[in-house]
Chain A
């Protein structure tokens, strides 16, 4: 469901923090038909060229507020709304090298009425300028 819209390439960039590239960032949409509180995001897993990056390196930027893994898990009020593009910032010294990469995004949402986890995967070939 909505897998093809999960990765929003338009906002893709390496992030420079005090003259150093601290990681990279891209836009993402929640693959679900309603918004959920951030606490319901069981897993957000990012991979680059087949290598899975540690989840604690993934930060969620929702309407200019940044959440690390622990903060996200405890956030019962703030929500990732339906169709909303939020930014994922991935701590990764040096960022991504120039050129093409295969970007993977897995989102696992805890949904009360499903007896199994709702896991959705997306892959996209991206280019770092």
Chain B
């Protein structure tokens, strides 16, 4: 692994099914990550660490770094949230939001993370206020470019303006691979069919999506075919799962601080049928991206009603896919 090449990591979010059911502990998640050959660890702090974003106890922190050494992995990214409406009937002021954000920066810093995934609802104004604090702690902040947003969406353009205006090295983008969903994830479609959606309408929506027809058109067409809510939900999959041309990342390459390797279902021959990973990785490599891509499995919620979820197997396949596409 060279410093100038893309590195592989795993977001422990991927193991959420087993972690939720306490079939895997935090250490198990780290151990499984290491087994895939990945070297980076990402966490959703409020998932993996009780009490987050409070700074964990000294004992926990010591244990954490012991695990990092034992499994030969590195803390890469912590995913934060802003609970603007945490208190009933009160919406946070910017000052309150900034205070909450600072807690996450201190949390990330205590556990050795270098990047914070900024939740997409964070405003550009808050970013501007929090950047100096992130610079002091040498933490890079990355606004998550999560579908249905894409990197040139109006909201992202405003964040880009903050990056430009401040000239900071500590704020950029974290593209989520879910923003390159060329074909609708079948685990999502099939779940809605199990809940009663019309299979013919589902097939139509999948075809429209793959053709690149605008979601609003498809939603309108489906509203003429059916007046059932569940069929509309299928049509709306095309709005929430978006595809942008991967080439759109090129112009922003210097601002990409991290990448979320979202995936929904890996086949046994190491393909994610809904996302053209090879094309996106090509753009990232070509552009000289040298950060991490962290596997982020999100299929469990769509299949848990009918089958045992095997996140470990899914992540292994995803990591193998990254290797196959030249991410060592």
Contacts and interface: CB of A to CB of B under 8 A. Distances in A.
A110 B20 contact: no
A120 to B, nearest CB: 11
B47 A40 contact: no
Task: Determine the main DSSP class of A at the interface with B.
Answer: loop
Given A34-B47, A35-B50, A2 B86 contact: no
Contacts of B86: 37, 39-40, 76, 110, 112
A112 B81 contact: yes
Interface in B27-77: 44, 46-47, 50-52
A45 interface: no
B88 A34 contact: no
A34 B304 contact: no
Interface majority SS (helix, strand, loop, mixed), chain B? loop
Interface of A: 1-5, 29, 33-37, 39-40, 42, 73, 76, 79, 81-83, 110-113
A5 B85 contact: no
Nearest to B146: A113
B51 A112 contact: no
Interface of B: 13, 16, 19-22, 44, 46-47, 50-52, 81-88, 119-121, 301, 304-305
Given A2-B20, A29-B20, A110 B50 contact: no
A73 B87 CA distance: 8
Nearest to A30: B20
B85 A113 contact: no
B46 A35 contact: yes
Contact of B20 (A36, A39, A82): A82
